[in-house]
Structure 1
Amino acid sequence: MTISERKVQAIRPEHEVMTQQRLPYFIGISGQTVGAQGLSMHIVVIPPGARAAPHQHIGYETGIYVLAGRVCTRWGERLENEVVSEAGDFLFVPPGVPHEAINLSETESARAVVARNDPAEQDKVEPYVVTAAAAPVGQAR
């Protein structure tokens, strides 16, 4: 692609799309929307009390910036570890680490910016079956 073929583009997501993680996303930057070659960036909304389906990302890193709410991210082979992030926090998820995100509020949605170093990251999301029961949220082992 030559410099004359490249252009700066603005994207305003107008509607949500359900992802493989079973969370609504507002699609922003991706290979499909702007021809990105190494980046995707979206807004995720976790409804009150909702959680992502356990999953892992194959071959790409994920950076998350929490805009609103409090989210518990459980991770590990049995989802035995957890970290709570809230508005103003960044979260890093390495490739291949099983995890799930849980909105800790029963009344308010959580919102975050999700950035990945893959322009078609949904193609590389794999469901993850937990091998043993994890501790309840807030009581990691």
Structure 2
Amino acid sequence: MSASDTPSGKPVCHRIRPANTYSGKQGFDYFEGIARETTGAAAICMHLLTIPPGRRARAHLHESHETAVYTISGEVVMWWGERLEHRMDTRAGDLVYIPAGMPHLPANLSGAEAVAVIARTDPHEQESVVLRPDLEGLVPELAGIEAG
């Protein structure tokens, strides 16, 4: 029986109130949300992320799943591309799409906390995260800013 089934074996709806966190490979702590582990989801996960001021993720990609991000509050800068050669500035109200396999590195360079909802097409979320330490030094603006 999975988290989404009742004793009769029929799927059920779930409500999750984000309270528990887990540490992602990317260096951020995520509020536990919709995932196979919490609800039995088969093809999606959705989590809440709070990024403190002056923090960044590790350069990474999601090998086999797409990502959609909705910025609730604050500002986040994301470098993306094979050599992190592109920069995207986002703020509250923006939606961002990241294709599967696309290297990226988000950072909160502002003085205020940023909050976002993240949805991915993999119910296990962390399984296809691939860290890219070879890209870490390619963004001069991030010199001296530790990941995590």
Deviations 1:82-103 (A, max 9, x none): 1011000000000111101010
Q: Which digits, 9 at most, give the CA deviation of each residue in 1:4-25, with x for residues without a partner?
A: 6111111112122111110110
Return the TM-score normalized by structure 2. Answer: 0.85
Give the 4+ runs in structure 1 shifted more than 3 A: 1-4
Deviations 1:27-51 (A, max 9, x none): 1100000000000000011111100
Aligned letter for 1:81? H
Is the Cα contact below 8 Å between 2:59 and 2:136 reproduced in 1? no
Q: Which runs of 5+ in 2 are unaligned?
A: 143-148
Q: Which residue of 2 aligns with 1:123?
A: 127
Measured in 1, the distance between the counterparts of 2:139 and 2:18 equals 35
Q: Please show how residues 28-47 of structure 1 align to structure 2 within 5 Å.
A: 28-47=33-52
| Structure 1 counterpart of 2:118 | 114
TM-score (norm 1): 0.89
Query: 2:29 matched to which residue of 1?
Result: 24
User: Mapping of 1:91-102 within 5 angstroms?
Assistant: 91-102=96-107
Find the counterpart in structure 1 of residue 146 from structure 2.
none
- CA RMSD for the aligned pairs? 1.9
Residue in structure 2 matching 1:59, options 45, 57, 64: 64
| Structure 1: 5+ residue stretches without partners | none
Residue-pair matches, total: 136
Q: Distance in 2 between matches of 1:21 and 1:131?
A: 12
Among all aligned residue pairs of Structure 1 and Structure 2, give the percentage whose two residues are the same amino acid: 39
